[in-house]
């Protein structure tokens, strides 16, 4: 089946630093990638939708300058948390769809961010 990977799986950083998280589709071309944020035992909150080669569409309330998303190729999207603060600590999950099956999202394993 389709595989989506995320790197790194864990990040611990100091307040004020920027953190880049990668999301890769390993065996298919992801025309659309989604970035979600999750707090413990809560639903995934969609942060943004990105299509390859174009600017990401952010959900209401998500700071574009805080969470920079780039979808430079059909297999890679990156989320950069700029000037991270402790309240940014959470679990970030990406998912990807391909043009062959737009109704199906393939989820990554998640990246846990802890900002000290």
Partner 1 sequence: GQNIDQPTEMTATEGAIVQINCTYQTSGFNGLFWYQQHAGEAPTFLSYNVLDGLEEKGRFSSFLSRSKGYSYLLLKELQMKDSASYLCAVMDSNYQLIWGAGTKLIIKP
Q: Sketch the per residue contact string, 67 through 106, with partner 1: x for CB under 8 A, - otherwise.
A: --------------------------x---------xxxx
Query: Cβ contacts of residue 91 below 8 Å, gap of 6+?
Result: 37, 38, 39, 110, 111, 112, 113
Q: Using the rule CB under 8 A, which residue among 42, 57, 73, 83 binds partner 1?
A: 42
Is 61 a binding residue for partner 1 by CB under 8 A? The answer is: no
Rounded to a whole number of angstroms, the distance between the first and last alpha carbons of the chain is 37
Helix (H, G, I), strand (E, B) or coil at 88: helix
What's the CA gap between 82 and 99, in Å, rounded? 31
What is the nearest approach in angstroms of partner 1 to the Cβ of residue 106? 8
Is 36 a binding residue for partner 1 by CB under 8 A? The answer is: yes
Residues that bind partner 1 (CB under 8 A): 1, 9-10, 36, 41-46, 93, 103-107, 109-110, 112
């Amino acid at each position: 089946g389709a595989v989506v990977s995320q790197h790194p799986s864990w990040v611990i950083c100091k307040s004020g630093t920027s953190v880049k998280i990668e999301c890769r589709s390993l065996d298919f071309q992801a025309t659309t990638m989604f970035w979600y944020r999750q707090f413990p035992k809560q639903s995934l909150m969609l942060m943004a939708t990105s299509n390859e080669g174009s600017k990401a569409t952010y959900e209401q309330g998500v700071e574009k300058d805080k969470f920079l998303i780039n979808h430079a190729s059909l297999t890679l999207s990156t989320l950069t948390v700029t000037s991270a603060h402790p309240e940014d600590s959470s679990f970030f999950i990406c998912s990807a769809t391909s043009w062959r099956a737009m109704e199906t999202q393939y989820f990554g394993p998640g990246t846990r961010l802890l900002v000290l």
